[in-house]
Structure 1
């Protein structure tokens, strides 16, 4: 039985939401992102792309390329709410689906042709999403995730496309190689230097040659060029909260030590949010005194996963909560009301330098995590020396936690 994998993608999602909220923005060039000269473009309308604008570029450059564009700061919470509406519609209509990002979804319709026409069902579902969410959306339907994703890209804007079983190779053959997921600018340049511009060229090459030239990436690229992909749909389950607690080896009244501890826990949890592509809108702090009386305090905030936003809130909550002249046994930090989203979309006031800093820090943390003594390789200066604060793994994908050697806090 051939698989039937459906890929949905909300077209220019942030821009579409802004246009839904303000119809005067229709057909006008739109830039969503940091409004200052040092901000970053989070999303751009199709009207700006003919000028060479793309997401991720400095806002200053985008405004120079397209000076007539309307620049909008954007609101991560609003986008998350609209994404949730679409998620709920899809969940009601398919047996299993995967939420790949805030605006991208996969669904497995395999075997449903016995009862329904999969393409017809997908078409009806797309129309329902458009009708109930008010947002344009495109889909691709194919035998695997790779081809369905490429098909969605070809269907855009606001359209749909099916690649029937057995037609994967002819469908991909005439495309330029950068249309294959995993081929970025650097890989594309490497392939062009080798005289490879179109997918058909890779299809005609022996897999062994691709492996010799590009290693494992070459083998993976050959499989993708030939439309081969067995990656499964990962069922979507929304995690509502993450938390970290630490019981001190000995009850303490050292306020500075406790503040450093809650800072360190907030930093670790924020990192987990970013690696899990999650945002939080509710933060809380817990304190348990030596007499075992436990108190907590929470605060609603705008959706974020940024250290420099979350840590000050956590410190403020701790200062408000710690009001008894008594030794403390335990402190804890929790982030809840989680939604799917990339942290960059919520940092519209941030500079390109700050976004690059977060990406670099997260890369180092992911790759190296802890040194041989159990201390984090990379942390903010204010939390240096704080160890044993819990997992640096990803709690959203089943990754086992990486626990440093135990020390009494």
Structure 2
């Protein structure tokens, strides 16, 4: 049976955090702008195209960035505002297309397969981009092709604020002259390894035996080779704000012990936040649930800026619990749920004022990955009965 010809669009807001800041203050337009930790030990979360000309990039130490461009403007960033605009763009996309995947706070995949018979898929993508620009004021680029990989690469080639179509059958030729680090999944380590092998262009990857890449790169070798050929069968996964991760604890004996309740909530939140980071996810909605001894069940939730930060999430969970637990009678169960999930775990802590906190989270996560997610916890959560955190739910 012949495979259906797909029409896949990848949309990416250009230098998203910077664009939002420029939207708020037009005097920042065309200026070298750095967003992130303002101290000398801070980290660059995002930078303008003008700043990139000086060799500055995301995750670079702020001290180094300011040395490369002393006259750059540094802003601490406002993740609440960025989350607001991300949700605004999401609403426009949701209203305009039959199916989309929100792959991060500033990226979307849209499946327009079959839409040619009604509108013209490329024209529909063009109109969607124009509507986003018109209604939000934010620049956005898109790539259009038969699959997610080629569309994402096409988007990057069309930036800033452009669009690019790769016609069906031209995928391999489009990719061949590009450097290998343009292929999604080729990170810094893989790029360095390939360069040491003398592989600089995608064309060379295309000509290599797939077995050679598998021997050198392991399981990822086959996937990277396929992407270099312009082949990617991965589907657009419909986005749902209901997608969530949660944990609950039913007490052996109903309780009003605030110390126990507090430590239990903190332990659950720590585990869930760690799970988010290992899956490179961020949450934008926190829900707390309580069940009283008479089985009366109450929940409350709060929309928040995207995060996977323990400290921020624990504070919100405690706030919601205190707001919810008004009856002050025996509790049978407490639960925590994170929803409205998107990719973007790499952004965790990039707005922190110091790199020490970033390094601390990374060290903690390495310890938990090696010795188990209960191996390291806050002192207040010690002694809390352990439980498994469920997988992500659709």
TM-score range, shorter chain: 0.7 to 0.9
Look up the match of 2:144.
141
The root-mean-square deviation of aligned C-alpha atoms, in Å, is 2.9
* 1:115 is aligned to 2:113: no
Report the secondary structure of 2:58's partner residue. coil
1:182 to 1:317, Cα distance in 2 relative to 1, 3 A: closer
TM-aligned CA distance change 1:292 to 1:72, over 3 Å: same
Instruction: Report the 3-state secondary structure (helix = DSSP H, G, I; strand = E; otherwise coil) of the residue aligned with 2:283.
Output: strand
Tell me how many residue pairs correspond in the alignment.
389
TM-score, scaled to structure 1: 0.85
1:28-50 CA-to-partner distances (Å, cap 9, x unmatched) read 01111112222221111001111
Partner of 1:39: helix, strand, or coil? coil
Q: What residue number does 2:188 align with? A: 185
Shift of 1:122: 1.4
Q: 1:213 to 1:77 in 2, by over 3 A?
A: same
Alpha-carbon separation, structure 1, partners of 2:341 and 2:14: 20
Post-superposition shift, 1:258?
A: 2.6
Distance change in 2, residues 1:149/1:58 (3 Å): same
Q: 1:195 aligns with which of 171, 195, 198?
A: 198
Instruction: Identify which of 374, 384, 387 aligns with 2:385.
Output: 387
CA distance in 1, matches of 2:336, 2:178: 49
Alignment counterpart, residue 352 of structure 1, candidates 332, 355, 362:
355
Q: Distance in 2 between matches of 1:346 and 1:315?
A: 21
How far does residue 130 in structure 1 lie from its aligned partner after superposition? Answer: 0.8
CA contact (8 A) 2:17 2:46 kept: yes
State whether residues 33 and 47 of structure 2, in contact with CA within 8 Å, keep that contact through their aligned partners in structure 1. Answer: yes
Seen in structure 2, the aligned counterparts of structure 1 residues 102 and 302 have a Cα distance that, compared at 3 Å, is closer
Residue in structure 2 matched with residue 66 of structure 1 by the alignment: 69
Q: Following the alignment from structure 1 to structure 2, what is the Cα–Cα distance between the partners of residues 321 and 113?
A: 50
8 A contact 1:11–1:158 mirrored in 2: yes
**2:87 is aligned with 1:101:** no
5+ residue gaps, structure 2: none
1:231-380 to 2 correspondences below 5 Å = 231-239=234-242, 243-252=246-255, 254-274=257-277, 275=279, 277-280=281-284, 284=288, 286=290, 288=292, 290=293, 304-315=307-318, 328-334=331-337, 338=340, 340=342, 342=344, 344=347, 348-362=351-365, 365=368, 369=372, 376-380=374-378
Structure 1: runs of 5+ lacking an equivalent: 371-375, 399-409
Contact 1:286 1:297 in 2 (8 A): no
User: TM-score, normalised to structure 2's length?
Assistant: 0.88
User: For residues 76 and 280 of structure 1, do their structure 2 counterparts lie closer, same or farther at Cα, with a shift above 3 Å needed?
Assistant: same
